[in-house]
Amino acid sequence: MNKRKFGIYIPSYKRAATITTHKLLEYYKVVVRKSEEDEYLKVIPKENLIAVPDEEINNIVKVVNWIVDNSEEDVIAMIDDDMNDLIYRLDFNEKITDPEVITSELERIAQLMVDLDIGYGAVDASIAPWNYAQEFTFAGTSGGLRWFNKKVYKARFDEKIGYCCDTDAVLQELLKNRIILKPKCCGQAFL
């Protein structure tokens, strides 16, 4: 990726016994509250776990901003902790379960963002294949998978917005950078 580092982060809260996404990836970091560290160490290797003081990441906005601010990589993907597989979503849904393929797809989208100088990317929340006419198209919501090209990313998840913080970040990024990436691959399969 043009000598840029790429990282994959999985924020998780109270799911030590049920976290699944890490099984789909070749490399990753799981970000948890310090008070939950011991529970997560039962299923996540220590070198893959980042435990942050509870008050620093006690809501989704703080978690996203903490990861963007503190990750060492230039470009990161952030993915929900409850994925059992991912899918290609074009004319039909095709499950992806191979960690090498999934990781390379995350890297491919990150490389597109670097090449095109795009700061923010996210999959849509809907998995219905009939909602998609082409690989890249716009919708204002973000699903469980986001990318941040930190050199270009200008938005900020805003705690005042609450649960619509992802839509607000999309609109901020469009206002400030005039572009985001909305890939149609690698969404979660609910099939």
Which tens digits make up the pLDDT trace of 122-176?
Answer: 887 655 544 555 555 555 566 688 899 999 999 887 888 877 777 778 777 877 8
CA angle at residue 20 from 65 to 126, to 5 degrees?
A: 70
16: nearest Cα among 49, 56, 53: 49
Could you tell me the pTM of the whole model? Answer: 0.87
- Name, in order, each residue with C-beta under 8 angstroms of 37's C-beta and a sequence gap of 6 or more: 49, 51
Taking only the tens place, the pLDDT of each residue in 56-92 is 999 988 999 999 999 999 999 999 999 888 887 766 7
Tell me which H or E stretch contains 51: strand 49-52
Is residue 190 helix, strand or coil? coil
Q: How is residue 67 written in tokens?
A: 């990861």
Q: What is 6-188's CATH topology?
A: Spore Coat Polysaccharide Biosynthesis Protein SpsA; Chain A (3.90.550)
Structural domain spans, the chain:
6-188
